Amino acid sequence: MIKKLIIAGFTLSLLAACSTNAKNITTEVNTTNNSNESTIAQNESNITNPVVTMREAIDIFKEAYPDAKIESIDLESDFGQLYYDIDGYDSTKEYEVEIDATTKEIKVNEVESKVNRDEALDFSNIIEPNEAIEKAATNDEVKDLSPIGWSLEVERGKPIYTIEYKNQTQDIDIKIDGTTGEMIQMKMDD
């Protein structure tokens, strides 16, 4: 009889301990998921309104390379960090600079001998990135999506923004004229 009571007591204690751990595990998983969702949402909003503006990133590049012309600028997220990737050149060298979009810190600074010459961007007439993103967001295919990045470069003599989106099955790129804000093209890749 005592043996049965001891076994029953032990079993109840074991069940109680297991159910407490299950609640803790569930709480940990929910907290982790909420934290990840918060980070993703924060990065998505930073694409449209980063701490460091495109103009500030350009100034940082120009401070390092005053004679260089800029051929492209991208704002991307990598491992939860936003950064600008700026490519430029002068008469003898090509430059690739990555600038942290929250701290202004130069993360990567590569210099190579000049191989080819691309067209330089003229920033005097270019619309701001958030304007291009707003224009792209009016497209029905991306209505409920947030941009994951953008780039600006010269294509066929014109400055063109490419606003990047991703849904569960496709990558969607929308090209916006960098001076007029008109949508030029939408491309969907599987």
Question: 117, 152, 173: which is the final residue of a domain?
Answer: 117
| DSSP state for residue 62 in the 8-state scheme | H
Domain containing 110 equals 51-117
Same domain for 129 and 161: yes
Contact between 36 and 15 under an 8 Å Cβ cutoff? The reply is no
User: Structure pTM?
Assistant: 0.69
> Residues 87-111: pLDDT tens digits?
999 988 999 999 999 999 998 888 8
State the CATH number of the domain containing residue 130: 3.10.450.40
Same domain for 189 and 153: yes
| DSSP state for residue 141 in the 8-state scheme | G
> Residues 52-91: pLDDT tens digits?
999 999 999 999 999 999 999 999 988 888 999 999 999 8
**Non-local CB neighbours of 97 within 8 Å, separated by 6+ positions:** 60, 61, 64, 65, 84, 85, 86, 88, 106, 108, 109, 110
Same domain for 23 and 87: no
What's the structural domain count of the chain? 3
Contact between 159 and 126 under an 8 Å Cβ cutoff? The reply is yes
